[in-house]
Structure 1
Amino acid sequence: MQSQWRVIDCVDLDGMISYERGHMKVKRRGDDEPVSIPLAQTAVVLIGLHVCCSSAVLYEMARAGVSVMLCDWRGVPDAALHSWANVPSEVAARQIAQSGMTLPRKKNAWMKIVKAKIRGQAACLDALGIEGGGILRGIASSVKSGDISNYEGYAAREYWRRIFAGDGKRFRRVPGTGTGRNAQLDYAYMILRGFTIKAILSAGLIPTLGVNHHGRGNYFCLADDLLEVYRPAIDYCVAQLGVSDCLSDRDVKKYLADSVNQQFNSSGLTIPSSVSDFAQQFGLYCEKRIDSLVVPEYQGPYEKR
């Protein structure tokens, strides 16, 4: 079994992958020599649309217990190849642990996610110079295991009625409306969700097994759980736009895409990197390698502190 969780990201590779004596050889088009990577130290390989590899390479990866993710143009996995052979696999071990996670452990994870999200919303209001941060922090302190009292919803009502109050009319968060602030948020959240899906699949987690989100029509319940803590960082950036800024403007789309690549907090990680780290932490939490889930928290725009 692999001694560490190693993800080989070949999403942007324009070249080929080959196999030689227990190693995958990754060669970019135009390079003279390939990079050699031991399969025994690899858990997941992400393959993009411009990668050439033979079925023999995929077979050797399967024999080594490596999971292969086939990704679209955005880098989001669309399909996966897992070994059916009786070989040690980090992915299989982690998924068994995730499926057996106890309800109290799930509830504790959700409590920490909700607390971090609400405190992030408070930091967003503070950064925008809007009153209400103290109220939200008080709500966050009241969240209990599983958030059975739905303090998340209570905080959301307080938050959304404040953040865009300067637009001149009462804002109501309605996903999928396709206009105004809702459209801006939907677009940025969509990009954030893509990064989160990639992170949880790279971490070998089962995407349908969320800690709070559930539903037969949602294949990525866990992604919708983990991304909650990153929403306030996106909201802050959306608040910098005008209510009339439209997605038909390429500059607006670029701005929203860049907002998902911002540095998240003092850790120095960007949002995509933080999401990847968080997904790995959740995997360790599922496996009981760590007793307490450490949830990242937004503390306002880092560059202005």
Structure 2
Amino acid sequence: MFRTVYVTAGECVTVVDNWLIIKNNQGVENKIPVDDIYTLFLDNIHTKISVYALQYLSVRGINLICCDDKYRPACSVIPFAKHYRPYGVMKKQFALTKEYRDLIWQRIVKAKIMNQHYAAALAGLNDKVVERLRQLAEEVLPGDIGNREAIAAKMFFRNLYGCGFVRFSEDVINYAMNYGYTIMRSAVIRSLVAYGYNCVLGVHHVNENNAFNLADDFMEPFRPIVDLWVSEHNDELVDELSRHNRINLVNLLNAEVNWNNKTMKLHNALDKYIASFTTAIDSADVNKLVIPSIIKNG
């Protein structure tokens, strides 16, 4: 699976004989092999999709995302029974000690800050900022008790977007960031579910109102991929995200990253990343968790 299919303009979507069929308003059909699809993105509330297509795509692990009337990702379709031993996996999650979860979180935060370091270098930020981010990554302690994640984020954002940038303010930069983060989160959820994980049971995130704490843990290293894209395309972000902007943010799942000294598409690296978490748990060796890192694309 490698293709991202982006559906707009109220098309009708069905599946026939393992082909995804998209019919536009003029009756013209496009046919795509289901086995080629990684993400199906429905970007129009008037698009019609059959129940058969929904279940067919879901059980085959397609990352299916639907948008609301403002073109924001609103939901993902997740299969109930993708893994053959979900209860066995959940027991392993419950058995993780706080000490081990803290070591996992240390590794995730370190990888996130290192990806901020790589993004800062690719964005041409001041050498001192780039080096300080690398230092902050080295300073992360188990559980990040020194809060290096927050310190790095403040430095990274203000140097990437300017001193006046405020996270969560109502502006197009934040809209673009949130849009991209939602795409990354949905892909991480897909991989976690495929490996039998219960996303409620986080390593670090423990919000009782959040059904996807574990996904919010594991998506953290990929936020800088979105941040770098937003920085590079800042000049074309005006008031609200265009259709072209949204397509490019979805296509970040096809960005090339480094995983275990191999270059591959992010969506492939995600699966290997989550598989390595299983290996880390089964071997009781946190070093088996291998997290993708940013490389220069194009």
TM over 0.5: yes
Aligned amino acid, residue 215 of structure 2: A
1:257 match: 250
Tell me, which stretches of 5 or more residues in structure 1 are unaligned? Answer: 1-6, 17-26, 36-47, 54-66, 84-88
Cα shift at 1:134: 0.3
CA-to-partner distance for each residue in 1:78-100, whole Å, 9 max, x for gaps?
Answer: 451489xxxxx432222211111
Residue 80 of structure 1 corresponds to which residue in structure 2?
A: 80
* Compared CA separation, residues 49 and 292, structure 1 to 2 (3 A): farther
Work out which of the residue numbers 173, 186, 189 in structure 1 matches 2:178. 186
The residue that corresponds to 2:140 in the other structure is 143
Write the mapping of 1:89-104 to structure 2, written as runs, cut at 5 A. Answer: 89-104=84-99
More deviation in 177-186 or 72-81?
A: 72-81
Q: Number of aligned pairs?
A: 245
TM-score normalised according to structure 1 size:
0.71
SS at match of 1:126: helix
Q: Structure 2: which amino acid aligns with 1:50? A: A
Q: Deviations over 1:79-131 (max 9, x none)?
A: 51489xxxxx4322222111111111111100011111101101111111101
For residue 290 of structure 1, report the CA deviation from its aligned partner.
4.9
**Could you state the TM-score of these two structures normalised by the residue count of structure 2?**
0.72
Q: 2:189 aligns with which of 187, 191, 197?
A: 197
Could you list the runs of 5+ residues in structure 2 that have no partner in the other structure?
6-12, 22-34, 36-50, 67-75
- Of 265, 268, 292 in structure 1, the residue corresponding to residue 263 of structure 2 is 268
- Following superposition, the deviation at residue 268 of structure 1 comes to 2.5
Runs of 4+ in 1 over 6 A off after TM superposition: 69-72
- State whether structure 2 residue 165 is matched by structure 1 residue 164: no
Would the aligned equivalents of 2:61 and 2:190 in 1 still touch at CA under 8 Å? no
- Matched with 2:116 is 121
Distance change in 2, residues 1:14/1:69 (3 Å):
closer
Superposed displacement of residue 190, structure 1: 0.8
Tell which structure's C-alpha radius of gyration is larger. 1
Judged with a 3 Å threshold, the aligned counterparts in structure 2 of structure 1 residues 110 and 243 are, in CA distance, closer, same or farther, namely: same
Letter aligned with residue 203 of structure 2 = V
Q: Distance in 1 between matches of 2:180 and 2:52?
A: 24
Q: 1:300 to 1:80 in 2, by over 3 A?
A: same
- Shift of the 29–218 alpha-carbon distance from structure 1 to 2, 3 Å rule, reads closer
Measure how far apart 1:214 and its partner are.
1.3
Any idea what the Cα deviations from partners look like across 1:19-63, whole Å, max 9, x if unmatched? xxxxxxxx6599xxxx9xxxxxxxxxxxx851678xxxxxxxxxx
Q: SS state of the match for residue 255, structure 2?
A: coil
CA distance in structure 2 between the aligned counterparts of 1:98 and 1:170, rounded to whole angstroms? 41
Q: 1:230 to 1:243 in 2, by over 3 A?
A: same
Instruction: Read off the aligned partner of 2:243 and give its amino acid letter.
Output: R
Cα pair distance change 1:49/1:301, threshold 3 Å: farther
Partner residue of 1:50 out of 50, 53, 70: 53
Percent identity, aligned pairs only?
23
1:250–1:122: structure 2 CA closer, same or farther, 3 Å change rule? same
